[in-house]
Amino acid sequence: MVSDCISGGGTTLAQPPKYILGLEGSANKLGVSIINSNFEILVNMRRTYISEIGCGFIPRQINAHHKYYIIEMIKDCLTKLKIKITDVHLICYTKGPGIGSALYIAYNISKFFSLLFNIPVIGVNHCIAHIEMGIFITKLYHPIILYVSGSNTQIIYFNDHKKRYEIIGETLDIAIGNVIDRSARILRISNSPSPGYNVEILARKKYLLNLEKKKKKKNAPIGGSFAGGEPHGGSAANEPNTPRTHDKPVRADPCDYTELLFFPYTIKGMDISFSGYDYYVSKYFSRYLTKRGKKGKGGENAPKRKKRHEGGEANGGGRSDADSVNGEEDDHADDAANRGNPIAGAANDGSTQQFPQPNLSIRASVQGSSYYEENVVCSSGGKRNYGEGEHYAEEDDCAIETESDFFDSSEEQPSSGSSEEQPRSRSSEEKARSRSTEEQPRNESSEEKPPSGGSLTDEEKRKIQICYSLQHHIFSMLIEITERAIAFTNSKEVIIVGGVGCNVFLQNMMKKMAKQKNIKIGFMDHSYCVDNGAMIAYTGYLEFANTKNREIYGFDNISIHQRYRTDDVLVTWR
């Protein structure tokens, strides 16, 4: 339970704490949370609409998903706290920005409760809620904010004179999360629990390709081989009556999957652009599929066709439970030819962002599925930011693709109660012990080996290469504009908010920059980085407690704004 209070967040009341209900529904995630007036997060629930593989988020389907689950989630929150809706002192909902059909659900529910029970209602800017939640968790009060999500990519700082969060850099076209989601659709990567998380998992597997390349170099014959199969300088080449062949040596691997692929790198001042990324992802993957398709139809490497279910047409376009489950299994079979390989089920490997076991419920009226997280509450007590007190961990080399960071079967899984699940860095004694163990002959029967690159198919290797190259380019641009923002504002603090901020690849690159610039970096895990109702309730109550004229939060002033910008909000509580 989070029980910390921020400075300037209102006075502590003498009477019993009041309850504040927060409703988040700007995109495919539906969050319901209840906090009290002491800024304690009591309950925080979240449901994520998951579309089929290769499909995006259709607004009418998100609307049907939120409409189906929102009342049920509100009832569950009230039941857990053993209170009634009349005990709620304030209702906070997402006013914008977001998808219009998704925003309307929380908007209509708030209007209904306000009219029926005479409860004050306040609309909250979604971007401001992410920022305030990041400040609340990290305790960095004057930072540069890197806001990266599926709909926004912004560099923000607080202007004390204007009392507003000013955008000093942003994307010129689409958001970074949208780039990753589109790439996942092109590569036919699963959307459960999120496409960005699965792209990150694939990018971490690049060390397998490096190990395979080193193994091939170690086992390759000296001087290469000719097309005829005889080694260079062999006995057949020295015989006088043997005709010389001038064929070029045949490469063992015509495609080097460890090479960094080219992607556009576009920066203008502190603005960035992601135009052209869809084209290059399609180009690299389509060319590869075309090359594989020439080997023959119906062969082992031929792309499989997705089965069509007849049950969906009988339900008026919707799918029944059995058909939905079968369709999802077929989609996973298309992406992973071997279910036992290290990529299949990547969300269950030893990664840093440990998601709970998915509770996927599928309804006939809603296409796709719903991912449910019952109690997304993590304690921030004792949490230290990276670079706190000008101290940087010496043993943490901030590696991006090393085996010790991203795969080690001997390491313990991080506990569910940890405030921030990051790769556990090994101490010098553990590293020395591992080196001495590697020098001795290993007992293969008693020790579990990490998966090797040889168990991956060519399609999976190409996906790993594309995901790694994609993340390398887009995150490098984010690091560069963040460095420019630090120089522009002379700030020594940076926090990363938004769903993409959970990415460990981005966090490690930020750590490298923090060491060079001697600054503090504040991170959060997926509990509060991803859209949630707690940030809406927290930010709404901050504004409500610091406003003199509370009559403006009545029924007549409830509205939504799809293009509600960050710098449109007057910040009265700072």
pLDDT at 217: 82
Burial class (CB in 10 A: 0-12, 13-18, 19+), 239: exposed
pLDDT at 527: 87
pLDDT at residue 16 above 50?
yes
Alpha-carbon separation of residue 429 from 43, 187, 410, 413, 425 (angstroms): 41, 41, 15, 20, 12
3-state secondary structure of 47: strand
pLDDT at 472: 96
pLDDT at residue 548 above 90?
no
Residue 508 in domain: yes
Any alpha helices (H) in 370-502, and if so which ranges? 403-406, 428-439, 458-489
Residue 406 in domain: no
Residues 22 and 31: beta-carbon distance below 8 Å: yes
pLDDT at 547: 86
Residue 250 in domain: no
pLDDT at 325: 33
H or E element that contains 37: none
pLDDT at residue 328 above 50?
no
**In 67-111, beta strands by DSSP E:** 88-96
pLDDT at residue 231 above 90?
no
CA 532-535-541 angle, to 5 degrees, is 140
Amino acid at 68: Y
The one-character DSSP state at 225 is B
The CA distance from 103 to 120, in Å, is 18
Q: Which of 30-34, 184-188, 419-423, 503-507 has the lowest mean pLDDT?
A: 419-423
H or E element that contains 156: strand 153-159
H or E element that contains 374: none
pLDDT at residue 456 above 70?
yes
pLDDT at 288: 60
pLDDT at residue 73 above 80?
yes
Asked if residue 254 has a cis previous peptide bond (ω within 30° of 0), the answer is no
Longest dimension (CA), the chain: 105
Residue 70 in domain: yes
Residue 563 in domain: no
pLDDT at residue 559 above 90?
yes
The CA distance from 122 to 573, in Å, is 15
pLDDT at residue 457 above 80?
yes
The CA distance from 493 to 489, in Å, is 10
Place of tokens 């499909």: 55
Higher pLDDT, 381 or 282: 282
| Domains identified in the chain, total number | 1
Residues 116 and 94: beta-carbon distance below 8 Å: no
The CA distance from 174 to 272, in Å, is 10
Residues 495 and 143: beta-carbon distance below 8 Å: yes
The CA distance from 197 to 471, in Å, is 12
pLDDT at 378: 67
Residues 264 and 275: beta-carbon distance below 8 Å: yes
pLDDT at 63: 95
Provide mean pLDDT across the span 470-490: 96
Return binding residues for a divalent metal cation: 126, 130, 147, 531
Return binding residues: 126, 130, 147, 181, 196, 200, 503, 531
The CA distance from 531 to 38, in Å, is 22
H or E element that contains 194: none
Name, in order, each residue with C-beta under 8 angstroms of 491's C-beta and a sequence gap of 6 or more: 142, 143, 144, 157, 485, 519
pLDDT bucket at 537, cuts 50 / 70 / 90: very high
pLDDT at residue 286 above 90?
no
Higher pLDDT, 563 or 8: 563
Name the β-bridge partners of 231. Answer: 225
Q: What is the Cα 417 distance to its own chain's centre?
A: 20
Q: Which of 198-212, 256-270, 390-404 has the lowest mean pLDDT?
A: 390-404
pLDDT at residue 401 above 50?
no
pLDDT at 15: 66
Dihedral of CA atoms 503, 504, 506, 511 in degrees, nearest 10, equals 150
pLDDT at residue 408 above 90?
no
Q: In the numeric block, which tokens belong to residue 12? A: 């502590």
pLDDT in tens, 287-323: 665 554 444 444 444 444 444 444 433 333 333 333 3
Domain holding 474, by residue range, is: 19-184+377-384+464-557
Select the highest-mean-pLDDT range: 330-344, 427-441, 516-530: 516-530
* Sheet architecture: strand order including 29-36: 121-125, 88-96, 19-24, 29-36, 41-50, 369-373, 360-361
pLDDT at residue 149 above 80?
yes
pLDDT at 334: 44
Residue 511 in domain: yes
Q: Which of 270-284, 316-330, 371-385 has the lowest mean pLDDT?
A: 316-330
Query: For the domain that residue 70 is a member of, what is the CATH number?
Result: 3.30.420.40
The CA distance from 556 to 247, in Å, is 82
DSSP letters spanning 512-535: HHHHHHT-EEE---HHHHS--HHH
Residue 12 in domain: no
pLDDT at residue 337 above 50?
no
The CA distance from 253 to 259, in Å, is 13
Residue 487 in domain: yes
Q: Is the pTM of this model over 0.85?
A: no
Q: Which of 61-65, 123-127, 457-461 has the lowest mean pLDDT?
A: 457-461
Return binding residues for substrate: 181, 196, 200, 503
Query: Long-range contacts of range 317-324, CB-CB < 8 Å, 24 or more positions apart?
Result: 317/367, 318/364, 318/365, 318/366, 318/367, 319/362, 319/364, 319/367, 320/364, 321/362, 321/363, 321/364, 324/362, 324/367, 324/368, 324/369
Would you report the helix, strand and coil content of the chain in percent, each value rounded to 5? Answer: 40, 15, 45
Q: Are strands 520-522 and 164-170 parallel, antiparallel or unpaired?
A: unpaired
pLDDT at 380: 58
